[in-house]
Amino acid sequence: MTADLAGRAKELREQIRYHDHRYYVLDQPLVSDAEYDRLLRELEKIEAEHPELTTPDSPTQRVAGEAVDRLKTPPGWLPLRWRKVEHRVPMLSLGKAMSEDEFRDFDLRVRKSLGLDKVVYVCEPKLDGISISLRYENGALVRGATRGDGAFGEDLTSNVRTIRTIPLGLSVKAGEKAPALLEARGEVILAKKDFADLNRRQEEAGEDPFVNPRNAAAGSLRQLDPRITASRPLSTYIYEVGECSLKFKTHSEKIAALQGFGLRTPPSLRAEGADAVKAVYQDMLEKRHAQPFEQDGMVIKVDDLDQRERLGQVSRSPRWAIAWKFPAEEEETVVENIDVQVGRTGKVTPVARLKPVLVGGANVSNATLHNEDELKRKDVKIGDHVFIRRAGDVIPEVVAVIKEKRTGAEKDFVFPGQCPVCGAAVVRNAGEANHRCTGISCPAQLAGHLALFSARTAMDIQGLGDKLIIALLEAGLVKDVSDVYALNLEKLLQLPRMGEKSAQNLLAQIEKSKKTSLRRFVFALGIRHVGEATAKALAQAFPDVKSMYEAPSEKFQSIRDVGPEVATAIHQFFQQPQNRAVIDRILASGVTPEPEKPPEAGGAFSGKTVVLTGGMSSLSRDDAKAEIERRGGKVSGSVSKKTDLVVAGEDAGSKLAKAKELGVKVVDEAEFLRMIGK
């Protein structure tokens, strides 16, 4: 029986690996998501029941383990985050060619050293990411490390394992064996589209967006918690091997082998002689904006590996390869003015208003100066001649000031102390690079705040969606979130395309939202860094919102999971008279946030893990969750052997099935209501 199961588990692992490869590497999925989930669930079930059948390369094991603790270091030392690993074959860097002449010089040196008239090269995009080394032993991924200084890198295995383009096990043809050792080397990147998605998510969560895909990839890879890395859409291209038990004759052969093992490789084009290389370069340059990834040049490598051996290296760069950079998309223009822009999350960014100029085919009239430190570092003044750069789809930025062109008439920019949009204080907290507007009713932030305020997990005002929010703001009917409770039929009917029926429905929803819980209310305030979990912790620590007004920062910091940065943000929020006034108005309009009841000691669900599935007619999922938590229980999203109880409402699906399979106790809605005494 176990032998059969072991066979089935192996088969499932192979199938899932195959579909992962089709989906993530080749971008050609063969099966539906549901079909894929079915395979994964079957494998999870076998492994849950027979842990001995779980293998480290199983697709169920991508996020294994918890966050790594900082390694313990003696007092006064800097914390060492990651274990150091040695690259026995050093990871080299590349020499650069900034022009065709410099590339021709390279070709000449290569031909001379080899005594050849023409050399066969391979041309690859120069990807702008983080270089990485992946060590496979007998086909299994055992280590993922950064380049570091080339001789020693950092062991990021647990994070690297979460990247879906990286197979945990190499694919090998039937009857063949995986190589004893293969160290695959390449680049971790964020594709342009994934970068845009990630930044959208960051902004929605009230976090700062990343400046460019490279920074975002680096930051995502170096997370202490692999679950965060797993949530970032990182991907890879593999273009070299380091230590390896296989022998190849050419780079092209090596790339084909890497591809065969299921690794994603970049386009690698053979070109005979310098003229052919130039043609490939021109083609790549023309198509750079159409590529899914950022590319800042083309890497040219000698194809024949014996020839590489003969050429050797100088200092840390091989003589057999060069990076021919693309011309930077930079142009000169004049800074006509500098002002600040207030983002949806309250971030205040200095922006240079430019004399319009064409950069890489696009007309540019604004460039970001990022923050005060960047502005000072670059020493940009109003009236300066500057170079601006447009890198891919990223916002144009000021690269440098042309100081020789200064006349003395240039003016310094002074960071405003007040928000230009709402007049609230603009602050820069210690340790932070950005200034922020602290006003709760700032119109720039208001649209975003209203969306959060009305969200299902906050005040739950159905019908108050994005379109209506914009209409309300444009009509001037809402100047801060408290105005939602001052809306009436007459006001709503002023809005374009608003009928009486919809207006009545909306008013009913607004009325309903007045009965709420303290945690929802605190979350709805949109305090920076305060998500649902922190809002809940605050609601448990204070009897009501007014008692948060005068609490010192330390009081917030004493709450579990609230660090100094978050405590400061909360404290500052309640210090603003403007914010208190808004809260007071909301409360005065009849909103009654019910205090959080402490969990009942020995409550009906004390110490139990409960899973909710399907719909219930008498209470919402969120309310059911609150009832369980109030009685000392924990609500989890998925059924496992550790689940104590499944509450199955109408149309319960796979979770109910799984509970039955695992023999977990299941109750229906009526039984659940009895358990909570309703």
Spatial distance between the Cα atoms of 660 and 646, rounded to a whole number of angstroms: 10
Bridge partners of 320, per DSSP, are none
Q: Which residue numbers are catalytic?
A: 126
Bridge partners of 364, per DSSP, are 357
One of 318, 343, 443, 463 touching ligand IVH (CB under 6 A): 318
Spatial distance between the Cα atoms of 389 and 399, rounded to a whole number of angstroms: 6
Cβ atoms of residues 600 and 631 within 8 Å: yes
Q: Which of residues 542-571 bind ligand IVH (CB under 6 A)?
A: none
183 binds ligand IVH (CB under 6 A): no
Cβ proximity to ligand IVH, 151 vs 588, nearer residue = 151
Q: Which of residues 88-127 bind ligand IVH (CB under 6 A)?
A: 92-94, 124, 126-127
Total residues in contact with ligand IVH, by rule CB under 6 A: 16
Cβ proximity to ligand IVH, 147 vs 528, nearer residue = 147
Render 105-164 in DSSP notation, one character per residue. HHHHHHHHHHT-S--EEEEEEEE-SEEEEEEEETTEEEEEEE-TTSSEEEB-HHHHTT-T
Nearest distance from residue 128's CB to ligand IVH, in Å? Answer: 7
Cβ proximity to ligand IVH, 93 vs 429, nearer residue = 93
Nearest distance from residue 200's CB to ligand IVH, in Å? Answer: 27
The enclosing H or E element of 224 equals none
How many CA within 13 A on the CB side of residue 179?
A: 20
Nearest distance from residue 145's CB to ligand IVH, in Å? Answer: 13
Residue 249 burial by Cβ neighbours in a 10 Å radius (0-12, 13-18, 19+): exposed
321 binds ligand IVH (CB under 6 A): yes
131 binds ligand IVH (CB under 6 A): yes
Spatial distance between the Cα atoms of 584 and 482, rounded to a whole number of angstroms: 9
Among 156-164, 318-326, 328-336, 362-370, which window interacts with ligand IVH (CB under 6 A)?
Answer: 318-326
Spatial distance between the Cα atoms of 168 and 444, rounded to a whole number of angstroms: 45
One of 107, 187, 596, 669 touching ligand IVH (CB under 6 A): 187
Among 317-325, 398-406, 432-440, 482-490, which window interacts with ligand IVH (CB under 6 A)?
Answer: 317-325
Task: Label each residue of 225-237 as H, E or C.
Answer: CHHHHHCCCCEEE
Cβ proximity to ligand IVH, 93 vs 366, nearer residue = 93
Cβ proximity to ligand IVH, 242 vs 343, nearer residue = 242
Cβ proximity to ligand IVH, 255 vs 401, nearer residue = 255
One of 107, 240, 397, 483 touching ligand IVH (CB under 6 A): 240
472 binds ligand IVH (CB under 6 A): no
Nearest distance from residue 446's CB to ligand IVH, in Å? Answer: 43
Nearest distance from residue 90's CB to ligand IVH, in Å? Answer: 9
475 binds ligand IVH (CB under 6 A): no
Using CB atoms, what's the residue nearest to ligand IVH? Answer: 131
Cβ proximity to ligand IVH, 152 vs 387, nearer residue = 152
Question: Which residues of 60-101 form beta strands (DSSP E)?
Answer: 84-86, 95-97
Nearest distance from residue 83's CB to ligand IVH, in Å? Answer: 21
20 binds ligand IVH (CB under 6 A): no
**């240079």: which residue's tokens?**
352
How many CA within 13 A on the CB side of residue 66?
A: 2
541-553 core/surface letters (b: 16 or more CB in 10 A; e: else): bbeebeebeebee
Nearest distance from residue 99's CB to ligand IVH, in Å? Answer: 18
Contacts with 572 (C-beta within 8 Å, 6 or more apart), sequence order: 427, 429, 438
Q: Give the footprint of ligand IVH on this chain (CB under 6 A).
A: 92-94, 124, 126-127, 131, 147, 187, 239-240, 266, 299, 318, 321, 323
